[in-house]
């Protein structure tokens, strides 16, 4: 049970750590300069804190946020809100960003400039076909993401951090940009929100509850307690 709980935690990490988490923190570090700590504090508050709080609250009702919003506000508002939310974290913003960032960071520098357009088309086709095949069986997500993809991804991130520290650790700190000079915390908060994790947590809470149910946790109190430990 402990092993499966750890895999659930890895699953959540894997589905949360997207393109925004990869590109916004380095950009924040460069632009904030000496104001890094208040900037990263704002980033963590909106990109991590609000997302975790949303997840934990979502586990309190196994029927999900749509049931709560329908009861507390109105059914029409729940539908409009959740449709707008899923479009934002889906085809409008987050999903295309995952493919383009992966291509620009990992593939584009290796290709001639004149092949950029064709390369992006080929890469995104392969990328989304692979994502589709992985998600065909939701019951296998725990093993495929939690057991395989997330550990590999975490190791690669650690290697990237170590290499970056050795290569750029002695570089002089740049001056903060205008936005971070005026309000480093506020700008960091906005960058954390731009990861869309706070919004995605509404949808991901359903995945968390479903996974914990599969592990044998049926009681709402047990689900919330277990999920609190995971996050």
Number of H helices, E strands in the chain: 14, 0
pLDDT in tens, 145-203: 777 888 888 898 889 888 888 877 666 678 888 889 999 999 999 999 999 888 888 88
Give the pLDDT of residue 105: 84
Please check whether residue 194 lies inside any domain of the structure: no
Look at the chain and report how many structural domains it folds into.
1
* Distance linking the first and last C-alpha atoms of the chain: 16
- Asked if residue 184 belongs to a domain, the reply is no
Q: Is residue 191 part of a domain?
A: no
φ, ψ at 113 (rounded to 5°): -60, -35
Q: Give 26-71 pLDDT, tens digit per residue.
A: 889 889 988 999 999 999 999 889 988 888 887 776 666 777 788 8
Q: Is the pLDDT of residue 143 over 90?
A: no
Q: Is residue 74 part of a domain?
A: yes
Please check whether residue 87 lies inside any domain of the structure.
yes
Mean pLDDT, the chain, integer: 81
89 found inside a domain = yes
Domain range for 54:
2-169+201-230
* Structure confidence at residue 156 (pLDDT): 86
CA angle centred on 158, ends 126 and 164, rounded to 5°: 100
Q: Contact at 8 Å (CB) between 109 and 101? A: no
Residue 186 falls inside a structural domain:
no
CB neighbours (10 Å) of residue 77? 12
On whether residue 158 sits in a domain, the answer given is: yes
Q: What is the pLDDT of residue 70?
A: 83
Place of tokens 């460069």: 30
């Amino acid at each position: 049970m402990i092993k499966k709980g750890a895999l659930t935690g890895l699953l959540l990490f894997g589905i949360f750590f997207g393109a925004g988490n990869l590109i916004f923190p380095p950009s924040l570090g460069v632009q904030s300069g000496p104001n890094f700590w208040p900037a990263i504090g704002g980033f963590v508050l909106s990109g991590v804190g609000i997302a975790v709080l949303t997840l934990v609250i979502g586990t309190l009702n196994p029927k999900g946020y749509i049931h709560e919003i329908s009861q507390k506000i109105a059914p029409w508002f729940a539908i409009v809100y959740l449709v707008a939310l899923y479009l934002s974290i889906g085809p409008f913003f987050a999903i295309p960003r995952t493919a383009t960032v992966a291509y620009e960071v990992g593939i584009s520098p290796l290709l001639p400039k004149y092949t950029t357009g064709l390369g992006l088309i080929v890469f995104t086709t392969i990328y989304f076909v692979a994502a589709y095949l992985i998600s065909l069986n939701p019951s296998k997500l725990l093993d495929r993401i939690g057991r395989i993809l997330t550990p590999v991804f975490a190791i690669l991130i650690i290697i990237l951090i170590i290499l970056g520290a050795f290569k750029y650790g002695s570089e002089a700190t740049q001056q903060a940009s205008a936005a971070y000079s005026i309000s480093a915390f506020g700008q960091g908060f906005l960058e954390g929100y731009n990861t869309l994790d706070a919004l995605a947590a509404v949808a991901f809470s359903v995945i968390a509850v479903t996974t914990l149910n599969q592990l044998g946790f049926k009681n709402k109190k047990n689900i919330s307690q277990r999920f609190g430990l995971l996050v």
